[in-house]
Structure 1
Amino acid sequence: MGRYVLRRLLQLIPVFIGTTFLIYAMVWAVPGDPFAGKCGERPCPESYVKEMTEQFNLDDPLVVQYFKYLAQLFSGDFGETYNGVQISQLIANAYPTTVRLALVALVIEAVIGVLAGIITGLRGKGFLDSLVLVSTLFLISLPVFVTGFVLKVWLGTELDLIKTSVGSDPTFGELLVPGFVLGSLSMAYVARLTRTSMMENKRADYVRTAYAKGLEPRRVVGVHLLRNSMIPVITFLGTDLGALMGGAIVTEGVFNIRGIGGLVYKAILTKEGMTVTGIVTLLVLVYLLMNLLVDILYAVLDPRIRYD
């Protein structure tokens, strides 16, 4: 296991360099003057443009710019915005809120989705199975912003059960409804994936053998059927954390949450390429580390999988 983890960590290095280079290239390849509008209605002075060009290495070739940025990043410096604000401070203020929101969404989609999938997978076709299939199809069909606005108006304006605007430092309780909205689409997929996996493994030879040996149904389901059926679900949930953090722009906008999504959106509008690159680089790290964690969990869930 130790060798496998070390090998996977080494494999993450070229993947990290490749993905972050593509991100850097795409962000800085956006057409237009990056200094437009930075000095109000009048054009920026030549001295300001020259200073900013040198500070962000815009005169260097793209590859040289990237490796200078990478060296700066590894030293813990995410750089500055054009206004001189430290990007690390912006991320430190916004990132914890988005992490909490993504974790709430992940827990909601895991608990509700997995439970719905297990129950319908074990019971088979019937009213409950049809209800889950119709409900998940309904959630998949609805855009996230529609779900968010409906719940915001219904629970916030009509019933006055939630705040229509989340505070600057929200608690986990305040993020329950936004978390449900953010994770609603993934929750539907998790329920369907768990249901399908359970129904397929329920007919597997090892399950029939376990029943033939006289094992209790609870042990067959909990130890044999459930552990093997959770492998594709764990894969989806593990990689979904990064997607939830990166896809929170709409949800954060609906509930006025000051997180990474709003920060990225404003940075794109103002052409703050360094801010966009720094945030997306963090999301890439989350994706890579979660993929590594999922691979390690495979051996825990399925004893047939061994890493030599």
Structure 2
Amino acid sequence: MGRYVLRRLLQLIPVFFGTTFIIYALVWAIPVDPFAGKCGQRPCPPEYVAKMRADFNLDDNLLVQYIKYLGKLFTGNFGQTFSGIDVSTLIANAYPITIRLAVVALIIEAIIGLTAGVLTGLRKNGFLDNLVLISTLVLISLPVFVTGYILKLIFTVSVPGNPSFFDLILPGFVLGSLSMAYVARLTRTSIAENRGADFVRTAIAKGLPGKRVVGVHLLRNSVIPVVTFLGTDLGALMGGAIVTEGVFNIHGIGGLVFINIQQQQGVVVTGVVTLLVLVYLLMSLVVDLLYAVLDPRIRYE
């Protein structure tokens, strides 16, 4: 296990550098004037533009800019906005809200999706199975912002500035609705396929109770692809919270990215997306390590 963990950590290094460079290049290689409109209706003075370009290394080529950015990033310095505000401060204020929202969405999609998938996988082609299939198809077909607006109008929810987990239940349901539908369908398919597997027939032949056969043998082996989806979905939920946070007026990472894209604050966008990349990489590592816990047949060495 130790060698596997070390190997996976080494694999994350080129992925991290590759993805962050692509992000940096996409943000800073856009042929627009980052200082347009920063001085009101008049163009910014040449002295101001020269100083800002020097401060943000914009006169260097893209690779040199990226290396200098990484040098600051590895010391915990995410840089400053054009107005002198620390990006780390902006992230520290917004990130906890988005994490709470993403965790609520993940819990909702895991509980409802797994429950619906297990019940329909055990009893295919029944009324409940057809109801779940139709419901999940509706959720998959509807854009998230449509689901959000409909539920917001129905329940007239107002989210406070610093929301608690309870305040984020409805936005969390909206954010996780699409993934919840996929979890239900993925679990249903996996349960249905494993019902006729040799290890299930052996457990039944031994006379084990039905709850133990389903809960220990069938479910444990069937949730491996679901765990993969849920683990990697945490980063997707935080990155995809822009629409949901906009619908419910939640001041999290999504709103921070959206506002700074409009204001052409590339340093903020780069810092937030880099943080999301780290979440993706760490969650993928955690998911890989969970495989051995869920399925003893899996060995890494």
Q: What TM-score do you get using the length of structure 2 for normalisation?
A: 0.99
Cα distance in 2 for residues equivalent to 1:131 and 1:123:
12
Corresponding letter in the other structure for 2:69: Y
- The answer for the alignment partner of 2:174 in structure 1 is 181
Cα distance in 2 for residues equivalent to 1:168 and 1:92:
15
Does residue 47 (structure 1) correspond to residue 36 (structure 2)? The answer is no
Q: How many residues end up aligned between the 2 structures? A: 301
Which of 177, 189, 192 in structure 2 is aligned with 1:196?
A: 189
Cα distance in 1 for residues equivalent to 2:108 and 2:74:
35
Cα distance in 2 for residues equivalent to 1:198 and 1:23:
39
SS of the equivalent of 1:72 reads: helix
Does residue 250 (structure 1) correspond to residue 243 (structure 2)? The answer is yes
CA apart distance, 1:47 = 1.0
Corresponding letter in the other structure for 2:105: A
CA apart distance, 1:205 = 1.5
Corresponding letter in the other structure for 1:111: I
CA apart distance, 1:251 = 0.5
- The answer for the alignment partner of 2:93 in structure 1 is 93
Within 5 Å, give how 1:1-150 maps onto structure 2: 1-150=1-150
Please, which runs of 5 or more residues in structure 2 have no aligned partner?
none
Does residue 306 (structure 1) correspond to residue 299 (structure 2)? The answer is yes
Corresponding letter in the other structure for 1:234: V
Please, which runs of 5 or more residues in structure 1 have no aligned partner?
157-161
Cα distance in 1 for residues equivalent to 2:216 and 2:151:
38
Choose 119-128 or 241-250, whichever is displaced more. 119-128
Corresponding letter in the other structure for 1:129: D
CA apart distance, 1:206 = 1.5
Cα distance in 1 for residues equivalent to 2:137 and 2:31:
40
Which of 263, 266, 270 in structure 1 is aligned with 2:263?
A: 270
Corresponding letter in the other structure for 2:10: L
Choose 284-293 or 266-275, whichever is displaced more. 266-275
Choose 200-209 or 185-194, whichever is displaced more. 200-209
Which of 195, 199, 211 in structure 2 is aligned with 1:218?
A: 211
Cα distance in 2 for residues equivalent to 1:180 and 1:196:
23
- The answer for the alignment partner of 2:225 in structure 1 is 232
CA apart distance, 1:214 = 2.0
CA apart distance, 1:213 = 2.2
Cα distance in 1 for residues equivalent to 2:41 and 2:196:
70
Q: Percent identical across equivalent pairs?
A: 72
CA offsets, 1:125-155, max 9 Å, x none?
A: 2000000000000111111111111111111
Cα distance in 2 for residues equivalent to 1:254 and 1:216:
47
CA contact (8 A) 2:29 2:62 kept: no
Cα distance in 2 for residues equivalent to 1:257 and 1:236:
26
Corresponding letter in the other structure for 1:134: I
